[in-house]
Homo-oligomer: A and B are copies of this chain.
Amino acid sequence: MISSVPTSPGTGRKRPTIRDVAREAGVSYATVSRVLNGREWVSPESLKAVQDAIARTGYRANPHARSLATGRSGSVAFLLTEPQHLLFEDPNFSVLLRGVAQALSDRELTLILMIAATEKERARALDYLGGRHVDGVLLVSPHSGDPLLARLVRAEVPIVACGRVLGHEQAISSVAADDRGGARAAVEHLLSVGCRRIAAITGPQDTSGGVDRLGGYLDVLAANGIEAVPERIAHGDWSRESGAAAMRLLLDRAPDIDAVFVASDAMAAATLPVLRAAGRRVPEDIRVVGFDDTGVAATTDPPLSTVRQPYDRISEEMVRLLTDVIGGRTPLAVTVPTTVVLRQSSPG
């Protein structure tokens, strides 16, 4: 059966509309709409009549009609632009996803997950987001050079990023942990327990997290009159494999290091087997401090000292900011504090 009238599938019965409810309640359908939207100017009697009629008919608003009339979709995209494997191996993303899903649900907003890893997916994402299927976009781990970002900004899509978007700070609201401060605290801790030859494994240098966490490390060295040795700095891309590779490189180039500050827990966790294989004991021979405290940190062997990001605050703020931007407010950058958590890989 082909029909242009949307029906309950299977039954062929039409769903009740606002008119059916109005008839049932003995009021105009404008009044039903007012009740539906909780507006003022409805008498108690009408209110009751409408509510009863809704219950009796099993009425449910048609979301598409509503969106057409209001211009709002009631949904928000969670856009993931990292290569797909990171979604699975870096707990950062799933923790954020969970928090955002929660915060969105509290506001009756729907989460649309978009993975834009391949070229084709990226083109489709731009089309979709630019076509106003969603009211706004939550951007995870943005890289500054990404052409998709510039296009989204040009299309004037409301965006809030997790981490500042280098080069788009004015146009894109962001929520970030205090990456620089957290990194400083971590390295100061290492200094305070006697480490003097501290290495660093960074995140990608086209992300604010990658840049700022390295910045914090350099700050502390400078403040303490310690020279920053290039051989003691290795770059990763957040992936576990890159963390392991960076650790191998450091052991090779700077075998005398007595500590390593790693820009993410996922990468830090990957350094542990490398160190064990090299015969270095953690923390006796070399201390390791990570960043994130996503949950893996507590389960590695030994458990990781790390810098905790308040993920619940981050996701909550991202959603709040996005509703602001959708409402027409100007972009803003929010920074939330971090705390150092000490475990076996570098006890206090």
Does A34 interact with chain B (Cβ within 8 Å)? no
How many copies, total? 2
Residues of B within 8 A of A43 (CB): none
How far apart sit A113 and B73, CA to CA, in the bound complex (Å)? 16
Cβ contact of A128, chosen from B98, B110, B114, cutoff 8 A: B110
Q: How far is the CA of A112 from the CA of B132 in the complex (A)?
A: 15
Which chain A residues in 34-68 approach chain B with CB under 8 Å?
60-65, 67-68
**How near does chain B come to A16, taking the closest CB pair, in angstroms?**
12
Q: Does A84 contact B (CB under 8 A)?
A: yes
Q: Digit string of A282-296 for contact with B (CB within 8 Å is 1, else 0)?
A: 000000000000010
Q: In the complex the two chains form, what is the Cα distance from A8 to B156 in whole Å?
A: 7
- Output the residue of A112, A120, A133, A295 with the most chain B CB within 10 A: A133
Q: Let me know if A320 is at the binding interface, CB within 8 A.
A: no
Rounded to whole angstroms, the CA-CA distance of A113 and B113 in the bound complex is 6
Cβ of A115 under 8 Å from chain B: yes
Counting from the closest, the 8 A-B pairs by CB-CB distance are: A6-B71, A64-B67, A113-B113, A64-B68, A10-B156, A88-B94, A60-B131, A63-B133
Q: Could you give 28 example pairs across A and B, Cβ below 8 Å?
A: A1-B328, A4-B70, A4-B71, A5-B71, A8-B156, A9-B156, A9-B157, A9-B326, A9-B328, A10-B156, A11-B156, A15-B132, A60-B130, A60-B131, A61-B131, A63-B73, A64-B64, A75-B112, A78-B113, A88-B94, A88-B295, A94-B94, A98-B115, A101-B113, A101-B115, A111-B113, A112-B112, A112-B113
